[in-house]
Amino acid sequence: MLELDRLSKTYATGDTALSQVSFEVPAGQVVGLIGPSGAGKSTLIRCINRLVEPSGGKVILSGTNLVTLRGNALRRARRRIGMIFQEYALVERLTVMENVLSGRLGYVPAWRSFLRRYSPEDVAKAFSLLEQVGLSDHFNKRADALSGGQRQRVGIARALEQDPELLLVDEPTASLDPKTSRQIMRLIGSACRKRNLPAIINIHDVLLAQQFTDRIIGLKAGEVVFDGKPEALTDQVLTRIYGDEDWTRMRGEENAGEESQPPTVDLAEGL
Amino acid sequence: MTSTSAPVWHYRTPKQTLLRWLGWFSLVALTVFSWQLMNENTIWAFVSDAPEQAADIGDRMFPPAWGYTGQLWQPLWDTINIATLGTLLGVLFAVPVAFLAASNTTPSTRFVRPLALLVIVASRSINSLIWALLLVAIIGPGLLAGIIAIGLRSIGFVAKLLYEAIEEIDTSQVEAVRATGASGAQVIDYAIVPQILPAFWGISVFRWDINIRESTILGLVGAGGLGIQLNASLATLAWNQVAMIFVVILFTVVVSEWVSAKVRQAVI
Amino acid sequence: MAVQSYPGRWKRPPVLLTNPFWRRAIYTGALVYLVLALQSVEIDWQRVWLGLDRGWKFIEGFLVPDFTTRWRDIREGLVESLTMTLTSTVAGILVSVPIGIGAARNLAPAPIYLVCRSIITLSRSFQEVIIAILLVAMFGFGPFAGFLTLSFATIGFLSKLLAEDIEECDRSQIEAIRATGAGWWQVVNYAVQPQVMPRLVGLSLYRLDINFRESAVIGIVGAGGIGATLNTAIDRYEYDSAGAILIIIIAIVLVVEYSSSWIRRWVQ
Ligand SMILES: Nc1ncnc2c1ncn2[C@@H]1O[C@H](COP(=O)(O)OP(=O)(O)OP(=O)(O)O)[C@@H](O)[C@H]1O
Ligand SMILES: [Mg+2]
């Protein structure tokens, strides 16, 4: 369970990206974080695992406040939080396997990771995750030889290899086609449900967010302006978050055939 | 009609034109002034004599002393060793210096980075022949002085190019590895090293290629290799031996260039 | 999902040398070479031990440099070095531009291309010091020989890079100008020059830097400049004067580097 308490961030440039953001995410809940560009979504996610230093407030994960941690303690906290990036952020010149195994870096001593000597459990787990995301055949390929959708799957496997207690996802589908986007969202959603993982997913596509998350938080100019069920995301709410726009037209293009509850079994669907 | 893409100078304001002319004028004036200052003591009789001298030297160079080759194998082997071991030594020290100098990996921008940059500048400013000159005076003539001289000069070169490569890496990959809870050493190992490895090999081999050339002359000041032979032949005015040494140098340089091009191709 | 067992072992596949035989052969070869090379270095530990004392003196000289005692010599050498650097860079640029254009495959006809390429190869194969030795023998001692040496070396460096730059020029721009009915000179002036000018400026400034550093070296073989002064200082074991000269060289290199990055920004 994750709790944010009056989390604030003001960058050195003077931009206030977050002001006094508070909410809780119980175990197993997948939260969609929406908001216009520059609202502070990425900042919020990065403040949680301290890639960005918050300027005030608390981040409490299973009882420990992450904001005050330093050095090794911070390292141990980070390994409990899996992160999935927009542009995949794989280490391009390493193999797929090394990228997935890098999820264990917070657990193993430096010399072991240097020699690529991981325990059999870690390796077996990596193989099993690669199979779950449908990449069993590619483990010895270099990451830059994969397509965008495949790379994002490796990114997911890397995050899950960490045995996380929380998943942070920053625009996982921003550079993917609509079908692959859905597969990736479904993959993340089912992985969370299977492990009872809480997750925060930054996403620009409101329809995807409504379809694949349990709860939606709307952020605008660093403040929470909406927090509720996906169904409660009405046109007025969207206007409050994003400003005026013809929202009905957008919904009109929605594919009516899609189910709102994603299936949980078919992990590597559509490969 | 020839209406080509309008050249920039059509848009220059009069002030810019004036500044440009002023710049060019001062460059020319400075060059002429330097020329005169430089040639104050030049004895033009020697200069006008040069074609005859050149013809004379050319005459004595041919044919090269082919039989002399037998005495050149050992110095050639030494030359190659100086270049290779010196490059290894230089690279060994250049890597930590580069990490200390790169603004995204340095432990402190206030103290450590300027120090590392100073090491780089000092090493780069001073030619390996000067390093050799100093080292021969300090630790005596021989291969060791040559190797250290090459090493000292290589530190700056390799470290400079390497730290520029480190500063250009993709930061999102670094962030992603850091987000897994990796320690500083692990971030370097998993996120930075893979990104700079091709640059590292390219730079090292490039420097090795340069070092082969440099080590051919270190012997002039007593630091071993072909230069010792060159010095001896010059002292006795044995120009046909000098010509033979030039042939060997040319051959070595061509081969080393080929090797370094091949390795760079393979690595990248 | 059925319980399935996954392999618990994984080894990173080799990246470069995938053939195990060649991998082993190359590793062994490298190891054998390293052992042989290290064995060829004979170290006279006693001499090194004695040298440590002198090394310390040198460091002292570097920390407490003496600018005054030999100031006249230093000034003279410095003036020679600086004037040599400037004039040779200017002369080198003037000659390299036509040679560089001639060595660009997309502009020059085959015979001219071959001639220019061989000039470049000749200039690049030999170390500046070797060229200086020859030119000193022909033109006599002094900065004039140094000027010629550095100009010659500049030609090899600048023409090669300029030619490569021209060959990488945007083809469509050249074709567009040609399509207007422009002659060869107009093509060079309108399509090529704007594209390569900024880099030519950058390379020239970089060569200026190199020429200064080289000018400190060729004095050792009699081609004038601060190198001769430095050589004398080291020969006489005057490490404090030598330290002063080295500090001056480093400082000038720093100044050149900073001002050239400033000029480059101004030009672009
Ligand atoms: N490194 C930084 N330094 C200074 N200001 C920053 C930095 N990163 C973000 N900001 C500012 O913080 C605010 C929030 O940025 P953030 O990246 O969190 O927005 P976002 O909601 O993720 O936008 P997007 O949807 O475009 O990704 C913006 O005003 C931005 O300019
Ligand atoms: Mg963002």
CB contact under 8 A, C12 and A97: yes
What is the distance in A from the centroid of ligand 1 to the CA of B104? 20
Q: Is C209 within a domain?
A: yes
> Residue range C136-147: average pLDDT?
88
Residue A5's DSSP bridge partners are A58
Whole-number Å distance between alpha carbons of C245 and C227:
9
Q: Is C110 within a domain?
A: yes
Residue A218's DSSP bridge partners are A34, A226
User: Would the pLDDT of C13 be above 90?
Assistant: no
Would you give the distance in Å from CA B30 to the centre of its chain? 28
Nearest residue on chain A to B177, alpha-carbon basis:
A102
pLDDT tens, position by position, C161-218: 999 888 888 777 877 877 777 778 888 888 888 888 888 888 898 899 899 999 888 8
**Backbone dihedral region for residue A3 (phi beyond 0: left; psi -120 to 50: alpha; all else: beta):** beta
Whole-number Å distance between alpha carbons of A175 and A194:
26
Supply the DSSP string of C131-175, one letter for each residue: HHHHHHHHH-SSHHHHHHHHHHHHHHHHHHHHHHHHHTS-HHHHH
CB contact under 8 A, C6 and A98: no
pLDDT tens, position by position, B40-70: 777 777 778 878 888 888 888 888 778 888 8
Count of positions (residues) in chain A: 271
Q: Is C137 within a domain?
A: yes
Listed in sequence order, the residues at least 6 apart from C125 whose beta carbon sits closer than 8 Å to its beta carbon are B249, B250, B253, B254
Q: Residue B267 has what pLDDT?
A: 73
**What's the mean per-residue pLDDT of chain A?**
86
Whole-number Å distance between alpha carbons of A226 and A217:
5
pTM: 0.83
**What's the mean per-residue pLDDT of chain B?**
87
User: Would the pLDDT of C160 be above 50?
Assistant: yes
Whole-number Å distance between alpha carbons of A81 and A66:
11
Q: Which domain holds residue C108?
A: 79-225
Highest mean pLDDT among B71-75, B98-102, C163-167: B98-102
Band of residue B150 on the pLDDT scale cut at 50, 70, 90: very high
> Residue range A161-178: average pLDDT?
89
Query: Quick one: three-class SS letters along C53-108?
Result: HHHHHHHHHHHCCCCCCCHHHHHHHHHHHHHHHHHHHHHHHHHHHHHHHHCCCCCC
Q: Which of A43, A53, A87, A206 to mutate to test the pocket of ligand 1 (most atoms within 8 A of CB)?
A: A43
Select from B170, B182, B198 the Cβ nearest to the Cβ of A105.
Answer: B182
pLDDT tens, position by position, A50-101: 888 999 899 999 888 988 888 888 888 898 999 998 888 888 888 899 999 9
Whole-number Å distance between alpha carbons of B244 and B152:
30
Please report the number of interchain residue pairs, chain A to chain C, with beta-carbon separation below 8 angstroms. 32
Count of positions (residues) in chain B: 268
Domain boundaries, chain B: 11-48, 69-267
Q: Is C146 within a domain?
A: yes
Q: Are B200 and B162 in contact (CB under 8 A)?
A: yes
User: Would the pLDDT of B7 be above 80?
Assistant: no
Strand order in the sheet with A64-65: A16-25, A2-10, A56-61, A64-65
> Residue range C19-33: average pLDDT?
89
Residues of B with CB under 8 A from a CB of A: 170, 172-173, 175-183, 185-186, 189-191, 194-195, 197-198
Calculate what percentage of chain B has a pLDDT beyond 90: 38
CB of residue A222 inside a 6 A radius of ligand 1: no
Band of residue A154 on the pLDDT scale cut at 50, 70, 90: very high
CB contact under 8 A, A105 and B195: no
Q: Residue B11 has what pLDDT?
A: 61
Whole-number Å distance between alpha carbons of C166 and C18:
38
Q: Is C63 within a domain?
A: no
Question: Which residue owns the Cα nearest ligand 1 atom 3?
Answer: A11
Q: Is C213 within a domain?
A: yes
**Backbone dihedral region for residue A134 (phi beyond 0: left; psi -120 to 50: alpha; all else: beta):** left
pLDDT tens, position by position, B215-243: 999 988 888 889 898 988 888 888 888 88
Band of residue C268 on the pLDDT scale cut at 50, 70, 90: low
Q: Residue C2 has what pLDDT?
A: 44
Q: Residue A92 has what pLDDT?
A: 85
**Looking at A160-164, B50-54, B183-187, which range is the least confident one?**
B50-54
AA letter at B106:
T
AA letter at C161:
L
CB of residue A14 inside a 6 A radius of ligand 1: no
Would you give the distance in Å from CA A171 to the centre of its chain? 7
Domains of chain A are 2-259 (3.40.50.300)
Band of residue A253 on the pLDDT scale cut at 50, 70, 90: low
CB contact under 8 A, C9 and A120: yes
If one counts the domains in chain C, the total is 1
User: Who wins on pLDDT, B27 or B3?
Assistant: B27
Interface test with C, best of B80, B117, B135, B139 (most C CBs within 10 A): B139
Interface test with C, best of A93, A96, A140 (most C CBs within 10 A): A140
pLDDT tens, position by position, A202-237: 998 888 898 899 999 999 988 999 999 988 888 888
Whole-number Å distance between alpha carbons of B41 and B43:
6
The CATH number of whichever domain residue C179 belongs to comes to 1.10.3720.10
Give SS3 for C225.
Answer: coil
- Phi then psi dihedrals of residue A19, to 5 deg: -130, 115
Q: Are C253 and B125 in contact (CB under 8 A)?
A: yes
Q: Are A181 and A173 in contact (CB under 8 A)?
A: yes
User: Would the pLDDT of B8 be above 70?
Assistant: no
What is the distance in A from the centroid of ligand 2 to the CA of A202? 8
User: How close A183 comes to chain B (CA, Å)?
Assistant: 22
ipTM score for this prediction: 0.83
Whole-number Å distance between alpha carbons of A270 and A176:
15
AA letter at B34:
S
User: Would the pLDDT of B107 be above 50?
Assistant: yes
pLDDT tens, position by position, C86-111: 999 999 999 999 999 999 888 888 89
**What's the mean per-residue pLDDT of chain C?**
86
Band of residue B1 on the pLDDT scale cut at 50, 70, 90: very low
DSSP element (H, E) containing C109: none
**Looking at B37-46, B97-106, B171-180, which range is the least confident one?**
B37-46
Q: Residue C1 has what pLDDT?
A: 43
Query: Quick one: three-class SS letters along chain A?
Result: CEEEEEEEEECCCCCEEEEEEEEEECCCCEEEEECCCCCCHHHHHHHHCCCCCCCEEEEEECCEEHHHCCHHHHHHHHCCEEEECCCCCCCCCCEHHHHHHHHHCCCCCHHHHHHCCCCHHHHHHHHHHHHHCCCHHHCCCEHHHCCHHHHHHHHHHHHHHCCCCEEEEECCCCCCCHHHHHHHHHHHHHHHHHHCCCEEEECCCHHHHHHHCCEEEEEECCEEEEEECHHHCCHHHHHHHHCCCCHHHHHHCCCCCCCCCCCCCCCCCCC
User: Would the pLDDT of A269 be above 70?
Assistant: no
User: Would the pLDDT of C130 be above 70?
Assistant: yes
Q: Residue B9 has what pLDDT?
A: 54
What is the distance in A from the centroid of ligand 1 to the CA of A202? 13
pLDDT tens, position by position, A104-139: 998 999 888 888 889 999 999 999 999 988 888 888
Q: How far apart are the first and last CA of chain B?
A: 47
Q: Residue A23 has what pLDDT?
A: 92
- Give the tokens for residue B244: 């033979």
- Give the tokens for residue A172: 């996982």
- CB-based contact, B238 to chain C, within 8 Å: no
What is the distance in A from the centroid of ligand 2 to the CA of A201? 11
Q: Residue C184 has what pLDDT?
A: 80
CB of residue A42 inside a 6 A radius of ligand 1: yes
Q: Residue C4 has what pLDDT?
A: 67
In CATH, what number does B69-267 get?
A: 1.10.3720.10
**Which positions in chain A touch B189 (Cβ < 8 Å)?**
110, 113-114
Q: Is C41 within a domain?
A: no
